[in-house]
Amino acid sequence: MPIRLFDSLSRQVRELSAAQPDGVFRFYNCGPTVYAPAHIGNFRTFVINDVLRRMLELEMGPGKVRHVRNITDVDDRTIGQSRKEQRPLGEITRMWTGIFHADCDALNCLRPTAEPTATGYIREQVSMIEVLMEKGNAYRAADGSVYFRVGSFPGYGALSRVKERELKVTNSAFDADHKDDVGDFALWKAHKPDEDGDVRWPGPAGAAEGRPGWHIECSAMSRKILGDTIDLHTGGVDLLFPHHENEIAQSECCNGVTLARHWYHTEHLLVDGTTMSKSKGNYYTLGDLVAKGHSPVTVRYALLAGHPRKQLNFTLDSLHAAESALATLRAYRAALRRLKPASTGVYDKVLDALRDDLNTPAALGALFTVVNRGADGGNLADFERVIFALGLDLDRPAGLPATPPEVAILAEKRWAARGARDFAAADALRSELAAAGWSMLDGKDGYKLEPIKK
RNA sequence: GGCGCGGUAGCCAAGUGGUAAGGCCGAGGUCUGCAAAACCUCUAUGCGUCGGUUCGAUUCCGACCCGCGCCUCCA
């Protein structure tokens, strides 16, 4: 059964396939801008794309998937952050790239096969802009910037249906720039000393020194690493317009062929029913959630609990649900390990759900339907395969914070009291531990301490 | 204003023209000094409202109500 996925351009669910004779699937996923920690909404997209990557590998073989995810390391926000902190741009972006990687690893996302940076591909971007200028799709503005002339590309708007909408244009952006038409967008931005500091590169022939516009990096890197036509291009819904629309325009005008055979966009994560924003106090990073005592696997599970093409309302409560569900899966696996494998194919519906437009909630539902039948009908190898596809690392320690010494002392005292069958003292100590925010789980040969979740 | 998405049990969330997966919570039970864990059982005559099509609609069509997102550098 092939993998079927909704295609944002044709607006229907279509089979995924590799077009090139080498059978390699070429997959480009728009990555993060590295100027601050990514938030869990960003990670919804990366986690979903990771499940997709895993499914593709299971289906086509690990060597048959080329997965590119870029790092945007030069744009208004990265430069802004660098100036705010009075530190070199590269230092800022390197730091946040490192943190992004750590978060991805914690969430058990496989590393992409290539992770190009915008600053690493300036030459490719410049030469692409030069081609567009030669072909008449781009023009130099008065200040030395280069803009893409949207009117020169008849296909503009096919992805986002931008032609059918009336742009609610304030004209502020238009007035501030030097472009011929409001719809035109920057390919190259002339250097502005008061805003850009020392961030600048030699521009395309005939243009000023400066830096690339946002959209061109993906076009250039995708082309350089994967070729003129790729099999799949993905990102969050917010990238549909203008980012992906503009990428199509640039790439197709430059290369003369279709940019991507398939487009896929994940919907937004909402928190407490609305968009995340720092002012609303509902803005979470992975680190925020870990600090509240939740493990990254739990977060990953919660991010998989909703259909990727539907807005998912994330709440702290959903993490508690996820944690309980994961505990059941861990117990089930432990039971499977003690049993002889039974029939194979019992989890097929889980993978089928994932093949069917990446329906992660249906997959989880199908998983638990099997789990609820009991471990003695299960098959460990098959179960592990399904867990791999979902990327749920059931072994990963919960990342518990270190036990404070005073808590450890209380626990030791209680364990001793319990051993001496002084249950009154043991219960009193349990209360003290609870007051300190810790719960003590008695086992046969020892105990475990866990912070009580906030 | 334009474009798009959604409203399913206390919460989260799949799904189908033929009578509602699953998770959490809750209740009961087994086990256990207590607690927890684990395991077992139970929990929507109902799928925003009103019409229509149909033998039959939560699922198709229409209207309406409500919520959310995007509309130029936000995954």
CA of A135 to C1' of B14 (A): 50
Distance CA(A167)–CA(A367), nearest Å, equals 45
Residue linked to tokens 């530190």: A87
CA of A443 to C1' of B36 (A): 9
A395 domain residue, yes or no: no
* Mean of pLDDT over chain A: 90
A255 domain residue, yes or no: yes
Q: How confident is the model at residue A112 (pLDDT cuts 50, 70, 90)?
A: very high
**Chain B positions with any atom < 7 A from a protein CB:** 1-6, 11-15, 21-25, 33-41, 67-75
- Looking at per-residue pLDDT, the higher value among A134 and A274 belongs to A134
With contact defined as beta carbons under 8 Å apart, do A454 and A288 qualify?
A: no
CA of A9 to C1' of B18 (A): 35
Owning domain of residue A413? 405-451
What is each CA distance from A91 to A192, A197, A282, in whole angstroms? 21, 14, 29
Mean pLDDT along residues A86-92: 95
Please write the tens of the pLDDT for every residue from A310-355.
999 888 889 999 999 999 999 999 999 988 888 889 999 999 999 9
CA of A333 to C1' of B13 (A): 24
Please write the tens of the pLDDT for every residue from A254-273.
999 999 999 999 999 988 77
On whether both A237 and A215 belong to a single domain, the answer is yes
What pLDDT score was predicted for residue A180? 84
On whether both A241 and A306 belong to a single domain, the answer is no
**Nearest amino-acid residue to B34, taking CA and C1':** A427
Q: Which nucleotide is nearest to A368 (CA to C1')?
A: B22
A143 domain residue, yes or no: yes
On whether both A227 and A153 belong to a single domain, the answer is yes
Q: Which nucleotide is nearest to A237 (CA to C1')?
A: B75
Q: What percent of chain A has pLDDT over 70?
A: 95
With contact defined as beta carbons under 8 Å apart, do A220 and A128 qualify?
A: yes
pLDDT at A280 over 80: no
On whether both A326 and A253 belong to a single domain, the answer is no
On whether both A349 and A436 belong to a single domain, the answer is no
pLDDT at A163 over 80: no
Q: What percent of chain A has pLDDT over 90?
A: 72
What pLDDT score was predicted for residue A401? 65
On whether both A261 and A200 belong to a single domain, the answer is yes
On whether both A27 and A88 belong to a single domain, the answer is yes
A142 domain residue, yes or no: yes
The number of distinct structural domains making up chain A is 3
On whether both A248 and A317 belong to a single domain, the answer is no
The domain spanning residue A167 has which CATH number? 3.40.50.620
What pLDDT score was predicted for residue A171? 43
On whether both A285 and A253 belong to a single domain, the answer is no
A25 domain residue, yes or no: yes
A271 domain residue, yes or no: no
What pLDDT score was predicted for residue A439? 84
On whether both A374 and A413 belong to a single domain, the answer is no
Please write the tens of the pLDDT for every residue from A7-49.
999 888 999 999 999 999 999 999 999 999 999 999 999 999 9
Q: How confident is the model at residue A453 (pLDDT cuts 50, 70, 90)?
A: low
What is each CA distance from A123 to A73, A131, A181, A206, A346, in whole angstroms? 15, 12, 27, 15, 52
A52 domain residue, yes or no: yes
- Is ipTM > 0.90 here? yes
CA of A384 to C1' of B53 (A): 48
**Nearest amino-acid residue to B74, taking CA and C1':** A238
CA of A401 to C1' of B72 (A): 44
On whether both A243 and A347 belong to a single domain, the answer is no
pLDDT at A174 over 60: no
Q: Which nucleotide is nearest to A444 (CA to C1')?
A: B32
On whether both A243 and A354 belong to a single domain, the answer is no
A376 domain residue, yes or no: yes
Please write the tens of the pLDDT for every residue from A52-75.
999 999 999 989 999 999 999 999
Task: Tell me, rounded to whole angstroms, the distance of Cα A1 from its chain centroid.
Answer: 26
- HEC string of chain A equals CCCEEEECCCCEEEECCCCCCCCCEEEEECCCECCCCCEHHHHHHHHHHHHHHHHHHHHHCHHHEEEEECEECCCHHHHHHHHHHCCCHHHHHHHHHHHHHHHHHHCCCCCCCECCEHHHHHHHHHHHHHHHHHCCCEEECCCCCEEECHHHCCCCCCCCCHHHCCCCCCCHHHHHCCCCCCCCEEEEEECCHHHHCCCCECCCCCCCCEEECCCHHHHHHHHHHHCCCECEEEEEHHHHHHHHHHHHHHHHHHHCCCCECCEEEECCEEECCECCCHHHCCCCEHHHHHHCCCCHHHHHHHHHCCCCCCCEEECHHHHHHHHHHHHHHHHHHHHHHCCCCCCCCCCHHHHHHHHECCCHHHHHHHHHHHHCCCHHHCCHHHHHHHHHHHCCCCCCCCCCCCCCHHHHHHHHHHHHHHHCCCHHHHHHHHHHHHHCCEEEEECCCCEEEEECCC
CA of A89 to C1' of B32 (A): 60
Q: Mean pLDDT check: name the lowest of A90-104, A129-143, A420-434.
A: A420-434
What pLDDT score was predicted for residue A316? 87
